[in-house]
Amino acid sequence: MGRLALGATSAATVILALAALTACSSGAVRDDNGDVTEGGDTDVFSLQVGDCFNDTAETEVSSVPIVPCSEAHDNEVFDEFSMPDGDYPTDDEFQAAATEQCDPVFASFIGVDYSDSDLDYAWMTPTADGWDSRSDRVVQCIVYDPNGQVTGSLQGSNR
């Protein structure tokens, strides 16, 4: 009932599966602008562009450990888009859509083209169950440093 991370643009990959729509947030606090000011587990469907979060040991999760971007973190959401209605896409179709949508936004978010960057990205996609039962079509583009955690937003980092 959720989203599944399919892949990344290189062998280093952030893989998350988002399994349940009913998960709730516990502990994360946002300010009036929607920025995370205090970390905690957050329902994956509550993730927003600009949110930073850490990896989990699980491949299927319903929540992620979100943190303020000023703290060390593994991932940052830099874009999201919706897939068109129709049959559930294949892995190749998700990859093609993510490459088409995420690459240009990567350049504007980070400040350099993906091909010139030392950063990488992955994407989270709807699961087949979420696609069919919840009409979940959202794909999120997630940037990360393959060398480890970063502190601060990667937006405008020119890396």
Per residue in 80-131, pLDDT tens?
999 999 999 999 999 999 999 999 999 999 999 999 999 999 998 888 888 9
- pLDDT (0 to 100) of residue 73: 97
Cα–Cα–Cα angle for 55, 148, 6, rounded to 5 degrees: 45
- pLDDT (0 to 100) of residue 9: 45
| Distance (Å, whole) CA 2 – CA 125 | 8
- pLDDT (0 to 100) of residue 74: 97
Residue 7 lies in a domain: yes
| Distance (Å, whole) CA 34 – CA 71 | 17
What is the domain extent for residue 132?
Answer: 3-151
- The whole-number average pLDDT for the span 146-156 is 97
Q: What does residue 25 show for φ and ψ, rounded to 5 degrees?
A: -85, 145
Taking 80 as the threshold, does the pLDDT of residue 12 lie above it? Answer: no
In the three-class reduction of DSSP (H, G, I as helix; E, B as strand; rest coil), residue 149 is classed as coil
Residue 156 lies in a domain: no
DSSP H or E stretch at residue 78: strand 75-82
Residue 159 lies in a domain: no
Q: Are 15 and 59 in contact (CB under 8 A)?
A: yes
Q: Report how many domains make up the chain.
A: 1
Question: Which pTM value belongs to this model?
Answer: 0.83
Q: What average pLDDT does the structure give for the chain?
A: 84
Residue 158 lies in a domain: no
| Distance (Å, whole) CA 13 – CA 121 | 7
